[in-house]
Structure 1
Amino acid sequence: MTPAALAAVHRAAFTTPRPWSEKEFAAFLDDRLCFLTVEGPAFALGRVIAGEVELLTLATDPAQQGRGHGRRCLAAFEAEARQRGAETAFLEVAADNDAARALYASAGWRETGVRPRYYHAPDGTRIDAQIMSKTLT
């Protein structure tokens, strides 16, 4: 997927946190520590540093959600992270994003912390970020 395509899917899938721009995706893809996995209309972007991978974002085209694309993309993300030497993984997800939290929990991710009022919603409210982690070894 091109940075423009990634930005388009991200824009369709997210309002909170704010969608990322084509320029932001291009910068991530230029970073040698970052990697992208794509499964049909879903993608995951991550960064591996010192044996740890951060799932920066996972997005699925809303018209294609609920068909397992995100689950397969998450599995591909974890496999690629292992190949790159990651032993542990972490992510942040909006506490009100029940579908994403359920997906991560069903894949073995555990809630390990909270960042209070971390995200800014379009209506001005603040939403906690739920921190989740998983051992990959």
Structure 2
Amino acid sequence: MSDYQITPLDHDDVVAIAAIEQRAHLFPWSAAQLAVSSHQFDHHYVLRLTTAPSCIIGYFYTRCIAGEAELLNIAIDPDYQGQGWGWILLNGMITTLRHAGADSIWLEVRESNMPAKALYQKHGFQVVHRRQQYYRCADGCREDAWIMEKRLP
């Protein structure tokens, strides 16, 4: 898994990201929400395979203000899930936010998203709160969110 790069998202990447977003999330962000922000506190990156042909297989959207970072969105293309790419992308996110001055990283995750919860916990994220009935479900019900935090050394 050495033929990859994690690089800042470019406007031209939004089409590829939007396609992954539609396949990876039950309630995906729109292309307008995924459009590149020029906000100084935002850090949006893509995970790109550098083998021929080069392709984007994942991304993250974060914000870091006054030492506190928040993961806003993250995904790995479903065709590449379960192969260790999530681990690599999350490592890249943590490194990026550490360089941006983050002392802590916050995120929320669906209670039923067992693979993501396990990945976050392996990376040292701790559950600090539950937000009841936060996420919509396909059948119209609501699902709890786990609020997790990782303190950075």
> Which residue type is aligned with residue 68 of structure 2?
E
Greater helix content: 1
Counterparts of 1:100 and 1:29, CA distance in 2: 25
TM-score by length of 1: 0.92
Counterpart AA for 1:106 = K
Indicate the structure whose relative CO is greater, using CA pairs within 8 Å and at least 6 residues apart.
1
Q: Superposition RMSD on alpha carbons, in Å?
A: 1.2
Matched AA of 1:49: I
Report if the CA contact (8 A) 1:3-1:22 is conserved: yes
| Higher Cα Rg, which structure | 2
Please say if 1:79 is aligned against 2:112.
Answer: no
Q: How far has the Cα of 1:30 moved from its partner?
A: 2.8
The gaps in structure 2 that reach 5 residues or longer are 1-8, 49-56
Q: Tell me, what secondary structure is at the counterpart of 2:139? A: coil
Q: CA deviation at 1:51?
A: 0.4
Q: Percent identity?
A: 37
Corresponding residue of 1:11: 22
Which portions of structure 1, spanning 4 or more consecutive aligned residues, are displaced by more than 2 angstroms? 28-32, 37-40
Could you give the per-residue CA deviations for residues 102-127 of structure 1, whole angstroms, max 9, x where no partner exists? 01011111111010000111210100
**With structure 2 as the length reference, what TM-score do the two structures score?**
0.83
Aligned residues: 134
- Structure 1 CA distance for aligned equivalents of residues 38 and 19 of structure 2: 19
For 2:85 and 2:133, the matched residues in 1 are separated by: 29
